[in-house]
């Protein structure tokens, strides 16, 4: 699922006496979720937190194989749980009968029908990558069986996200009338301590908005008992402070450990932690405002990209661990097209493009157009991440060298992703990352029908306002085509259009850096784009 953040998620574990097994895991986080509703605001930090307390119906494992979490069997054409039905499909979800919400109420097909109903309501503001709107109707067969009737054939027919508890959220949703009212009144925001909201190995046991979250083992969980009695998350909104807390033993895992910090930590303390840098599906990029007339010219956007030496930044800040991005698709994704060319470092070419676009150098070196307007752009990023500030400064200098004046600004992640990007309120450039699942449709972030606006209650995540009919057609083909070869061809079209149109400047495909205490077992990324907290019940402390 698509999730946004500015740096790789990091966590830190509190050191206990070596001879004792630990029953509490302390995780340091540099961002705090704006909401705990699983279907609203697709933030990476939120989905990391929710990975402890919720489960998606299906997910991909480390081998890119679709598996069940809430269901008993993955629907396929071969097993008959999925079949063509007229122009669409009928998909049968058989839920695991032993599942319970944290208050003991069974997870049932009524929860499927309720989630579908809310997910289809534009007033709810859902941002699910595997949208419930794909189904035109839902049939509840029995307590553990629901049939979703799709109005078209979809390659993602077996991929479904978290369920909502009808017995908790149903009355609240019924009372909500206007746009945004359900978001404001949902129990996930007003009372996250309600155990009936959670169906994972943990429930939310304590919650201090903007400060700390404690997850407690869920006694209703039917799977393996968690190895920790509780997981405590503490907001430390500066990545340097997070690292200091890690070294002091005040936290056990730094869940916002950046790659540069992990490299420095490994150099200074090579034997204190187990270090890893796993390839990821996370894409680092710079969105260009679709409402800025300067950035509306693709020649200006391309010039900005050519002026930046991404390889040097990768070597200096990330130890060469990152891959330079050609588009929004990671080489780890089976849909990656290696034939898409990589934009080179070419400051001379950047200058030529700016000249062609009508921007000529002034006496101070900053370019102006025929009307005398300065080529000046604001560049926004999340605060609290030293590496972001370094990248901003490096790029500001690179752009100044080709005649572009760039002013730098940062704001807290909670504001940046809760309001600024969501409402498309950034005036120039904004840098962040997103993570997607294997083969996940890019409709949510790049589809013409996913531009957030007041009319759709700011749902969708196409923050640049990118719109391209050929891209939309390729998205539709990739979503509806069951033939893998035809799907890959559609993905190739999308990647080429993206590289040509540049709605955003592609920077890197990142890695997932980890500095894990030597006593922790079972902890680590699964490489699928899902938060690795979805395996949290397997984490163990060894004395």
Pinpoint the alpha helices (H) of 104-215.
109-119, 166-175, 181-185, 187-190
Domain with CATH 3.90.76.10 in the chain: 55-166
Task: Give percent of the chain above pLDDT 70.
Answer: 95
Instruction: Check residue 418 and give its pLDDT.
Output: 83
Q: Is 82 exposed, middle or buried (0-12, 13-18, 19+ CB in 10 A)?
A: buried
What pLDDT, in 10s, does the model give residues 245-298? 999 999 999 988 889 889 999 999 999 999 999 888 899 999 999 999 999 999
At 4, the pLDDT band (50, 70, 90 cuts) reads very low
Using CA atoms, how far residue 9 sits from 165, 189, 258, in Å, is 28, 22, 8
What pLDDT, in 10s, does the model give residues 381-422? 999 888 899 999 999 999 999 999 999 999 998 899 889 999
Instruction: Check residue 45 and give its pLDDT.
Output: 86
Of 304-313, 379-388, 392-401, 463-472, the least confident: 379-388
Q: Give yes or no for residue 2 having a pLDDT over 60.
A: no
Tokens 């009737």, located at residue: 149
Task: Give percent of the chain above pLDDT 90.
Answer: 74
CA distance 438 to 256: 23
Q: Give yes or no for residue 463 having a pLDDT over 50.
A: yes
Q: Give yes or no for residue 538 having a pLDDT over 50.
A: yes
What's the mean pLDDT when you consider all of the chain? 91
CA distance 36 to 183: 11
Instruction: Check residue 304 and give its pLDDT.
Output: 98
Tokens 């395996």, located at residue: 535
Using CA atoms, how far residue 414 sits from 32, 177, 379, 454, in Å, is 7, 27, 18, 20
Q: Give yes or no for residue 13 having a pLDDT over 50.
A: no
CA distance 418 to 240: 23
Q: Give yes or no for residue 11 having a pLDDT over 70.
A: no
- Which position has the higher pLDDT, 22 or 543? 22
At 314, the pLDDT band (50, 70, 90 cuts) reads very high
For residues 237 and 229, the answer to whether their CB atoms sit within 8 Å is: no
Q: Retrieve residue 123's tokens.
A: 């007033």
Using CA atoms, how far residue 214 sits from 174, 195, 224, 251, in Å, is 30, 13, 20, 13
Instruction: Check residue 130 and give its pLDDT.
Output: 79
Q: Give yes or no for residue 468 having a pLDDT over 90.
A: yes
Q: Give yes or no for residue 336 having a pLDDT over 70.
A: yes
Question: What is the arithmetic mean of pLDDT over 471-483?
Answer: 93
At 529, the pLDDT band (50, 70, 90 cuts) reads low
At 68, the pLDDT band (50, 70, 90 cuts) reads very high
Instruction: Check residue 526 and give its pLDDT.
Output: 61
Using CA atoms, how far residue 293 sits from 290, 298, 467, in Å, is 8, 11, 16
Question: What is the arithmetic mean of pLDDT over 336-343?
Answer: 97
Instruction: Check residue 14 and give its pLDDT.
Output: 37
Strand positions, DSSP E, 393-532:
405-411, 429-435, 504-517, 520-521
What pLDDT, in 10s, does the model give residues 194-217? 999 999 999 999 999 999 999 999
Q: Which CATH superfamily is domain 280-511 in?
A: Dipeptide-binding Protein; Domain 3 (3.10.105.10)
Tokens 């990589």, located at residue: 342
Query: What's the CATH code, domain 55-166?
Result: 3.90.76.10
Instruction: Check residue 527 and give its pLDDT.
Output: 56
CA distance 396 to 408: 8
Q: Give yes or no for residue 20 having a pLDDT over 70.
A: no
Instruction: Check residue 325 and give its pLDDT.
Output: 98
Strand positions, DSSP E, 386-538:
405-411, 429-435, 504-517, 520-521
Which segment, 128-137, 379-388, 421-430, is predicted with the most confidence on average? 421-430
What pLDDT, in 10s, does the model give residues 104-120? 999 999 999 999 999 99
For 51-78, b where at least 16 C-beta lie within 10 A, e where not — what string? bbbbbbbbbbeeeeebebbbbeebbeee
Task: Report how far apart the first and last C-alpha atoms of the chain are (Å, whole number).
Answer: 35
Domain with CATH 3.10.105.10 in the chain: 280-511
Instruction: Check residue 278 and give its pLDDT.
Output: 87
Torsion angle, alpha carbons of 537, 252, 47, 442, to 10: -110
For residues 75 and 92, the answer to whether their CB atoms sit within 8 Å is: yes
SS3 170: helix
Instruction: Check residue 438 and give its pLDDT.
Output: 81
Instruction: Check residue 129 and give its pLDDT.
Output: 67
For residues 105 and 165, the answer to whether their CB atoms sit within 8 Å is: yes
């Amino acid at each position: 699922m698509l999730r946004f953040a500015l740096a790789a998620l990091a966590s830190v574990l509190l050191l206990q006496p070596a001879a004792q097994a630990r029953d509490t895991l302390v995780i340091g986080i540099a961002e705090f979720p704006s909401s705990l509703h699983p279907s609203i605001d697709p933030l990476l930090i939120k989905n990391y937190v929710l990975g402890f307390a919720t489960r998606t119906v299906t997910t991909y494992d480390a081998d890119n194989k679709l598996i069940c979490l809430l269901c008993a069997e993955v629907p396929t054409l071969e097993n008959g749980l999925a079949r063509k039905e007229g122009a669409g499909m009928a998909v049968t979800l058989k839920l695991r009968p032993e599942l319970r919400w944290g208050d003991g109420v069974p997870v049932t097909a009524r929860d499927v029908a309720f989630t579908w109903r809310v997910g289809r309501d534009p007033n709810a503001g859902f941002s699910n990558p595997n949208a419930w709107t794909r189904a035109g109707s839902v049939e509840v067969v029995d307590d553990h069986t629901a049939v979703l009737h799709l109005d078209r054939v979809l390659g993602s027919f077996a991929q479904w996200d978290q369920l909502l508890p009808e017995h908790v959220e149903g009355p609240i949703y019924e009372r909500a009338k206007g746009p945004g009212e359900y978001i404001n009144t949902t129990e996930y925001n007003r009372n996250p301590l309600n155990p009936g909201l959670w169906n994972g190995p943990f429930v939310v046991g304590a919650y201090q908005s903007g400060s700390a979250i404690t997850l407690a083992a869920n006694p209703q969980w039917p799977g393996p008992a968690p190895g920790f009695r509780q997981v405590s998350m503490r907001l430390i909104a500066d990545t340097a402070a997070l690292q200091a807390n890690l070294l002091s033993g005040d936290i056990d895992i730094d869940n916002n450990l950046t790659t540069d910090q992990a490299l420095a930590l490994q150099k200074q303390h090579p034997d204190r932690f187990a270090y890893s840098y796993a390839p990821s599906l996370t894409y680092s990029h710079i969105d260009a405002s679709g409402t800025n007339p300067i950035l509306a010219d693709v020649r200006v956007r391309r010039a900005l990209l050519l002026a930046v030496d991404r390889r040097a930044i990768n070597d200096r800040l990330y130890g060469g661990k990152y891959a330079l991005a050609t588009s929004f698709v990671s080489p780890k994704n089976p849909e990656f097209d290696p034939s898409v060319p990589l934009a080179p470092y070419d400051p001379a070419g950047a200058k030529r493009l700016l000249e062609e676009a009508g921007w000529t150098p002034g006496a101070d070196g900053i370019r102006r157009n025929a009307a005398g307007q300065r080529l000046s752009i604001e560049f926004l990023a999340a605060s609290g991440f030293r590496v972001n500030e370094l990248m901003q400064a490096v790029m500001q200098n690179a752009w100044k060298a080709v005649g572009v004046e760039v002013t730098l600004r940062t704001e807290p992640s909670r504001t940046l992703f809760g309001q600024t990007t969501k409402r498309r309120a950034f005036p120039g450039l904004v840098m962040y990352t997103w993570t997607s699942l294997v083969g996940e449709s890019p409709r949510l972030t790049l589809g013409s029908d996913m531009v957030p606006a007041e009319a759709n209650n700011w749902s969708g995540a196409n923050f640049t306002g990118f719109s391209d009919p050929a891209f939309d057609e390729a998205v539709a083909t990739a979503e509806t085509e069951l033939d893998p070869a035809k799907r890959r061809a559609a993905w190739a079209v999308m990647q080429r259009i993206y590289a040509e149109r540049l709605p955003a400047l592609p920077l890197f495909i990142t890695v997932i850096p980890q500095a894990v205490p030597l006593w922790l077992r079972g902890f680590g990324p699964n490489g699928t784009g899902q938060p690795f907290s979805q395996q949290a019940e397997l984490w163990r402390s060894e004395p």
